[in-house]
Amino acid sequence: DAMVIQNPRYQVTQFGKPVTLSCSQTLNHNVMYWYQQKSSQAPKLLFHYYDKDFNNEADTPDNFQSRRPNTSFCFLDIRSPGLGDAAMYLCATSRVGAGGETQYFGPGTRLLVL
């Protein structure tokens, strides 16, 4: 089935140790999103790619970077994780145009920072 896949599902890292989260999609959607979600809160948009165009939210810390090497894959790099970065990270995709911009979410990666 077409879907949004996130790896790993759980990631434990040490304070300050770089970590990379990955997202892949088989939907051929032109937009990919990264959200940070803390418990019982709304997802906070970090950035999104519209095709190759990178869009960074104004309040996304510099500690967070992203790469989209091709249509199917998108990566979230956290250069020096702090305790406050422990959260669920959600990847989503959508199609602008015929797709009606519905977002399809992956299952998320839960990040724990020790």
Partner 1 sequence: AQTVTQSQPEMSVQEAETVTLSCTYDTSESNYYLFWYKQPPSRQMILVIRQEAYKQQNATENRFSVNFQKAAKSFSLKISDSQLGDTAMYFCAFANAGKSTFGDGTTLTVKP
Which residues make up the interface to partner 1 (CB under 8 A)?
A: 30-31, 33, 37, 40-43, 45, 48, 50, 55, 88, 90, 92, 94, 96, 100-105, 107-108
At its nearest, how many Å lie between partner 1 and the CB of residue 102? 5
End-to-end CA distance of the chain: 36
The dihedral sign for the CA sequence 84, 73, 58, 79:
positive
At its nearest, how many Å lie between partner 1 and the CB of residue 89? 11
At its nearest, how many Å lie between partner 1 and the CB of residue 78? 19
What one-character DSSP code corresponds to residue 83?
A: G
List the strands of the sheet with 19-25, edge to edge.
4-7, 19-25, 73-78, 64-67
Rank residues 77 and 101 by Cβ distance to partner 1 and give the closer one.
101
Rank residues 19 and 46 by Cβ distance to partner 1 and give the closer one.
46
